[in-house]
Amino acid sequence: MKGKIRTLLIITIFSILSLFVFIIVTCFTLEVWARVNSRVTSVGVIGWQDDDVLGWISKPGKGKVITSEYTATYDINSYGMNDNPIEDTIEISRMRILALGDSHTFAVGVNQEQSWPNVLEQILFKRDVKNGSVYNCAVAGYSLGQYLLQMRRMAPIIKPHIVLIGFTIASDVYDLLPPRKGGFVFGADRGRVYFDLDDKGNLVEIHDLVGKRFFSSQPKKATLIMIIRNAITRSAFYQRLKRSRLAMWIMMYVRPKGKTLWASPDTALAIELDEDYRYRWQLAEALIRKIGEEAKEYGAYAVLVNIPYLPQVYDGVWKSSFGRYPNEYDRWIAGYRLKAICAKVGIYYVDVTQRFVDEARIKKKWLHYPIDGHPNPVGHRIIAETVAEFLIKNQLVDY
């Protein structure tokens, strides 16, 4: 009898180990396949250079990025901007608009002239720098704190009349944690000036990581759940198939601590805010207020531009993801919160979400790259047109 139990136990253990090995080999094979078929080719100057205050800025020079979805050319000027040289336009442009933001404004996936700040300039000023210029000061990977620091860096040079904050639901509420609460999402190893809230909810500017490598001085606290979530969502196989029904199912049903694997929009679209999410929104409000106050000191109006993300825009993506939990997530709630924040802190607010949703429904086409997630040229034009209409309607520009 004991021999049979021992044999059965050995068979069971062997079966479990075999299944485990099979899963590992299968995952490895799929990941290799995805990496081969999702290869990104860079030509010329593409990348970043260290900056003690901001963490990094775009490296000056011309470059091209080729993926399975797009070919995009960039021409980074001497200030690290994905824009034309600015020295000859500042003194003669009657209206100067400074655009802040991350990769959605920079803009990853489209040629320089197709970025929404550049298209906005074409709409408002008819390519005549004497009428005005829009300066694209966005940098891929930046978050709200870096927007503020970038404005401090560039506003004395550009002397703007308007400061546009390209706020993306994709990451601008999510990537806000200071080191004591988990650390940065993008550029996690790069020290910089960062912001926190004190016990009274006031904004605090902290310089202890300036000029340092973040992990070398203060390791990021990573839980097992965070490690598993990051491993899944950063894998090439997941990125390749993340718009599929299977990927949506995994993102929504594998819910560590009740939160989806699609962490960045989860933060923005959750109806009930836990302590972590509430902190992010409070810090976002404090930073938006500070940007508005300092823009005013430069003599400029601040305008927050709400740039929507994939699950908000496409009915199919919403229904396959957050729409499965109508009591937990709201497609429009991020816009409601941002509008309330802007009214509270006294800056202008323009929301592009409804325009994106309407265009996607009517034309039944993507306004983003499905795999990459950034707006395509049509998406950038819609952002530019919506912002232009708002600025003209509110008489913020001479048109």
Q: In this predicted model, what pLDDT tens digit does every residue of 54-72 receive, in sequence order?
A: 999 999 999 999 998 999 9
Per-residue pLDDT band for 364 (boundaries 50, 70, 90) equals: very high
Q: Quick check: is 355 in a domain? A: yes
- Domain, as residue range, for 204: 84-393
Q: Quick check: is 122 in a domain? A: yes
Q: Quick check: is 281 in a domain? A: yes
pLDDT at 176 over 70: yes
Q: Quick check: is 72 in a domain? A: no
Pair 90, 218 in one domain: yes
- Residue 88 confidence (pLDDT): 76
Q: What is the mean pLDDT of residues 125-138?
A: 92
Residue 349 pairs with which residues in a beta bridge? Answer: 304
pLDDT at 259 over 90: no
Pair 8, 104 in one domain: no
- Rounded to an integer, what distance in angstroms lies between the CA atom of residue 130 and that of residue 132? 6
Pair 139, 268 in one domain: yes
Q: Locate 230 and state its tokens.
A: 């990051």
Pair 293, 170 in one domain: yes
The letter for the amino acid at 77 is N
- Domains contained in the chain, number: 2
Per-residue pLDDT band for 217 (boundaries 50, 70, 90) equals: very low
Q: Quick check: is 76 in a domain? A: no
pLDDT at 28 over 70: no
Pair 28, 126 in one domain: no
Element (H, E) at 188: none
Pair 161, 24 in one domain: no
Q: What percent of the chain has pLDDT over 90?
A: 66
- Residue 129 confidence (pLDDT): 83
Pure H helices in 81-234 = 103-106, 116-125, 144-158, 214-217, 224-233
Pair 261, 198 in one domain: yes
Pair 108, 242 in one domain: yes
- pLDDT tens, residue by residue, 92-117: 889 999 999 999 999 899 999 999 99
Q: What is the mean pLDDT of residues 338-342?
A: 98
Q: Quick check: is 56 in a domain? A: no
- Residue 40 confidence (pLDDT): 59
Q: Quick check: is 61 in a domain? A: no
Pair 2, 111 in one domain: no
Tell whether the torsion through CA atoms of 230, 236, 237 and 242 is positive or negative: positive
The answer to whether 311 touches 317, Cβ cutoff 8 Å, is yes
pLDDT at 4 over 70: no
Per-residue pLDDT band for 220 (boundaries 50, 70, 90) equals: very low
Could you tell me which of 55, 60, 68, 67 has the C-alpha nearest to residue 102? 55
Q: What count of Cα atoms within 13 Å lies in the side-chain half-sphere of residue 375?
A: 29
Residue 61 pairs with which residues in a beta bridge? Answer: 76
The domain that holds 286 is classified in CATH as 3.40.50.1110
Per-residue pLDDT band for 35 (boundaries 50, 70, 90) equals: low
Tell whether the torsion through CA atoms of 212, 265, 57 and 285 is positive or negative: negative
- Rounded to an integer, what distance in angstroms lies between the CA atom of residue 142 and that of residue 362? 33
Pair 19, 91 in one domain: no
- Rounded to an integer, what distance in angstroms lies between the CA atom of residue 238 and that of residue 228? 13
Give the residue with greater pLDDT, 234 vs 328: 328
pLDDT at 226 over 60: no
Pair 340, 266 in one domain: yes
Name the pTM for this structure.
0.86
Per-residue pLDDT band for 246 (boundaries 50, 70, 90) equals: low
Q: What is the mean pLDDT of residues 227-249?
A: 58
Give the residue with greater pLDDT, 8 vs 129: 129
Q: Quick check: is 399 in a domain? A: no
pLDDT at 156 over 50: yes
Q: What is the mean pLDDT of the chain?
A: 87
Pair 27, 168 in one domain: no
Per-residue pLDDT band for 231 (boundaries 50, 70, 90) equals: low
